[in-house]
Amino acid sequence: MWYLTEDREAVLTTVREFVRTEVAPQAMEIDRTNAFPLDLFKRAGELGLLGVTVPEEFGGLGGDQTTHALVLEEIAKSLPVLTVAMGAHSLLAGGLIEMIGTTAQKSRYLAPAASGDIVLACGSTEAVGGDNQVEFSTRAVLDGDEWVLDGGKVLISNIGVADVYVVVAVTADHVDPVTKAGLSAFLIPAGTPGLGVGRPEHKLGWHGSATGSLSFSGCRIPKENLLGPLGGCLPAMFVSATAEFLSCGPVSLGIAEGAYELALAYSLDRVQQGESLFDRFQVTRHKLVRMYAEIESLRALVYSTYAERDRGELCLAQGRLLKVKGAEVSEYVAREAIQLFGGVGTVVDTGVERYWRDAKVMAIGGASVEALMDVIAGLIKRRLA
Ligand SMILES: Cc1cc2nc3c(=O)[nH]c(=O)nc-3n(C[C@H](O)[C@H](O)[C@H](O)COP(=O)(O)OP(=O)(O)OC[C@H]3O[C@@H](n4cnc5c(N)ncnc54)[C@H](O)[C@@H]3O)c2cc1C
């Protein structure tokens, strides 16, 4: 592949071995039990995979974005939900700390986050709506040397396992509907009195992401736990969200490849009247070719987009396209893979339908593709694409 270099190959060798020996053997069990894969998460930290792009001075590998994409793709082939936990931790919460944290906050949190010694979560979504971030019920009021938070969040990943929650709250009389000025970010350590952590939801897919609600009732944190400018965290959130949308490209690519590999192997192995399904049915062969074509098209889009990002030339619309196109391709390939398996494709233990369930959530978690399409349309109209 044109995007593979010696350095990237070295990281790939590490991640492939990790996936083969540690991730793959646990993947089905994590899906069955909905348990957060904490041991794999910590192990990823030990191997440097939680801090691929974090600067070396803060304990990371100091690698480029393309290397990060390769890591995500490889893990998602086997256990997509591990990349989801990594994204909430490194891209959303960690990304905000890296961008707008004080030197003291960066020194305190980034190195232990990169090594997996602590787990981070990022809470923005509320019951009033995740895609349209205008109305927020969570408020923070300064009382002496402490911020006091009241309100609640829903559908937040890494709850219960997180050591620190990055939480967005209103700190002004109202949030400006256009600039979103009035929103601030805070660092809330787990166990802070007044912080309530719900039970992980039982979802369609992404089993094990520990996604659920947070509540704040007179939750007091020191004044210095404000993260970034008072009332002005949104520009940084926009950048961290862009990183998360981008990451949906390689994760979706991994999901599609995982489902395709199973379907191809099954079509070659299953014999009817002396012939494999692959040799017997033209429709089977053609489905596999179309799946392959979609995967290779997505691969080209993912790695050319990441190359642009590494050159500092990424445009906003292109970043968002990765999430939209990735969700579409992974859902299509996983759906066709189930079809090629026939009846056993619907049996959970076969392992193929898990990819479809995970692909479906890709189109919503983090932001719905419909809301993103509107953002992309706005960028195209203003010729910012
Ligand atoms: C598994 C999972 C993990 C998550 N983890 C986190 C997390 O760690 N942190 C966090 O803060 N949030 C998290 N979320 C929340 C996620 O970001 C929201 O679910 C998402 O933004 C959609 O918001 P909503 O669910 O409130 O849907 P709504 O905003 O109510 O939207 C419902 C539907 O309406 C349509 N719609 C909404 N807005 C628009 C628009 N502007 N244009 C066109 N159509 C629109 C779309 O079809 C959308 O699916 C997670 C969600 C899931 C499912």
Percent of the chain's residues with pLDDT above 70: 99
Within 10 angstroms of residue 88's Cβ, the number of other Cβ atoms is 28
Ligand 1 centroid–CA 70 distance in Å is 26
Same domain, 280 and 200: no
Looking at 231, 264, 286, the residue that finishes a domain is 231
pLDDT, position 59: 85
pLDDT, tens only, 272-313: 999 999 999 999 999 999 999 999 999 999 999 999 999 998
**To test the ligand 1 pocket, which listed residue (128, 131, 188) has its Cβ within 8 A of the most ligand atoms?**
131
Do the beta carbons of residue 219 and residue 208 sit within 8 Å?
no
The pair of structure tokens assigned to 348 is 């959970």
Provide mean pLDDT across the span 9-29.
97
130 confidence band (pLDDT: 50, 70, 90): confident
- Please say if the pLDDT value at position 129 is more than 80: no
> Structurally, how many domains does the chain consist of?
3
Compute the mean pLDDT over every residue in the chain, rounded to the nearest whole number: 94
Q: Tell which atom from ligand 1 comes closest to the C-alpha of 211.
A: 3
Closest CA to 72 of 94, 93, 55, 88: 88
Provide mean pLDDT across the span 237-251.
93
3 state SS of 60: coil
pLDDT, tens only, 30-69: 999 999 999 999 999 999 999 999 888 888 889 999 999 9
Ligand 1 centroid–CA 200 distance in Å is 17
Ligand 1 centroid–CA 125 distance in Å is 8
- Please say if the pLDDT value at position 134 is more than 70: no
- Classify residue 1: in a domain, yes or no: no
The pair of structure tokens assigned to 284 is 């089977």
Ligand 1 centroid–CA 59 distance in Å is 32
pLDDT, tens only, 28-37: 999 999 999 9
Looking at 210, 231, 252, the residue that finishes a domain is 231
Which residue segment(s) compose the domain that 64 sits in?
6-118
Question: CB under 6 Å to ligand 1: residues?
Answer: 88, 122-125, 129-132, 155-157, 203, 206, 209, 211, 361, 364-368, 370-371, 374
Partners of 183 in beta bridges: 170, 232
Do the beta carbons of residue 190 and residue 210 sit within 8 Å?
no
- Please say if the pLDDT value at position 133 is more than 70: no
- Please say if the pLDDT value at position 259 is more than 70: yes
Looking at 196, 231, 266, the residue that finishes a domain is 231
Percent of the chain's residues with pLDDT above 90: 84
Ligand 1 centroid–CA 157 distance in Å is 13
Q: Tell which atom from ligand 1 comes closest to the C-alpha of 88.
A: 8
Q: What's the rounded Cα separation, in Å, for the pair 6 and 239? A: 29
- Please say if the pLDDT value at position 83 is more than 90: yes
384 confidence band (pLDDT: 50, 70, 90): low
Provide mean pLDDT across the span 261-271.
98
**Quick one: 139 exposed, middle or buried, by C-beta within 10 A (0-12, 13-18, 19+)?**
middle
- Please say if the pLDDT value at position 175 is more than 90: no
Q: Tell which atom from ligand 1 comes closest to the C-alpha of 84.
A: 3
Ligand 1 centroid–CA 6 distance in Å is 39
Q: Tell which atom from ligand 1 comes closest to the C-alpha of 368.
A: 49
The pair of structure tokens assigned to 154 is 């829903």
Same domain, 363 and 270: yes
Provide mean pLDDT across the span 186-200.
98
The pair of structure tokens assigned to 137 is 């019920």
- Please say if the pLDDT value at position 385 is more than 70: no
Same domain, 263 and 295: yes
Strands 275-276 and 271-272, bridge-based pairing: antiparallel
pLDDT, position 74: 98
